[in-house]
Amino acid sequence: MGHIRLGRLPKTQPWSGVFEVLESESLDATRLARATAEAAHGEFWAIGQDRAVNYCFWVLVRTATAARTSDFAAELERLGVEASNLTSGMAFVNRIAQAVDRGVRGRGQATPFTQIATLSLREVLSANLVEQSKSLFGTSLQEIESACRRISTQKRFGEVAKTFFANLMNRSIRFITDREISNHVGAAESISSPKEVQRFEKALRRYCDESAKIVEEFAAGWFSKHNWETNNDISEDATAAFTAYALEKIQMELREGR
């Protein structure tokens, strides 16, 4: 991912479509996502093969399945998450994030996309666990287990997986293009005001979410089937094929510009 990680995009033929969008009268999120997915096809393929990225999705899988077992705390310990003395849903998310930080270090050289995957995991868990685990008497492991159980149904897990991959792609596109976008902000540029920046960011998030919809039903079926086959013990290796498939399918949707 070398030239992207250095900052500025190369003005070579594969990236010409991206510069064409950036230099237009107004910045269109759909066109930019489509052009970026086309130009960065190799980079996005590599994300799908990244063990650390797959590990982040696997932690999401196992956090959900832990609530389907007879010993939630023990399953968390297997993930390296301390289950005692939890005081809030956010504290639980923070402990998972700390465990993930330790886990990704043992899965190859970190890339910017590793951090993007960890942020996507944290964002999904926060959105689905923090509010749901609150009670009038504080938060206990039991409330957190109940919140995790809610995302462990077939349908709900499909929705959560879709959101994880949508966040991952949205953040990846922003990482690749942000420095070039900053050169096109101004009264006479394709982004004329801070309000236009917000409009673009919102549109890009929406487009990535719509594109990720293609994996929602498949994720739900995959989760249900593998839980049944493994008795709620889906392995990290078993998750890798799905991670690669999901990112490939979303990238194809982005490139087709629907």
What confidence tier does 5 reach under pLDDT thresholds 50, 70, 90? Answer: very low
**In a domain? residue 42:** yes
- Taking only the tens place, the pLDDT of each residue in 110-136 is 888 999 999 999 999 999 887 766 654
State the pLDDT at residue 11.
Answer: 65
**In a domain? residue 115:** yes
- Of 69, 60, 63, 71, residue with least CA distance to 230: 69
DSSP string for residues in 149-170: HHTTSHHHHHHHHHHHHHHHHH
Distance CA 86, CA 92 (A): 7
**In a domain? residue 188:** yes
Mean pLDDT, the chain, whole residue set: 86
Please state whether the predicted TM-score (pTM) of the whole model is above 0.95.
no
Per the DSSP assignment, residues forming a β-bridge with 191 are 185
User: How is residue 138 annotated by DSSP?
Assistant: -
**In a domain? residue 7:** no
- Taking only the tens place, the pLDDT of each residue in 66-96 is 999 999 999 999 999 998 888 788 889 999 9
State the pLDDT at residue 89.
Answer: 84
- Taking only the tens place, the pLDDT of each residue in 190-228 is 776 777 778 888 888 999 999 999 999 999 999 999 999
Give the count of domains, the chain.
1
User: How is residue 127 annotated by DSSP?
Assistant: I
CB atoms within 10 A of CB 144: 25
**In a domain? residue 151:** yes
**In a domain? residue 5:** no
Helix (H, G, I), strand (E, B) or coil at 68: coil
State the pLDDT at residue 188.
Answer: 62
Q: Which residue has the tokens 């719509």?
A: 210
Q: What percent of the chain has pLDDT over 90?
A: 50
Positive or negative, the Cα torsion across 178, 179, 180, 182?
Answer: positive
- Of 2, 23, 27, 3, residue with least CA distance to 204: 27
User: Is the pLDDT at 138 greater than 50, yes or no?
Assistant: yes
Instruction: Give the pair of three-digit tokens for residue 98.
Output: 């700390």
- The answer to whether the beta carbons of residues 200 and 21 sit under 8 Å apart is no
User: How is residue 193 annotated by DSSP?
Assistant: S
12, 33, 143, 179, 241 from 135: Cα distances, Å: 55, 41, 8, 43, 38
Domain range for 57: 14-256
**In a domain? residue 9:** no
**In a domain? residue 6:** no
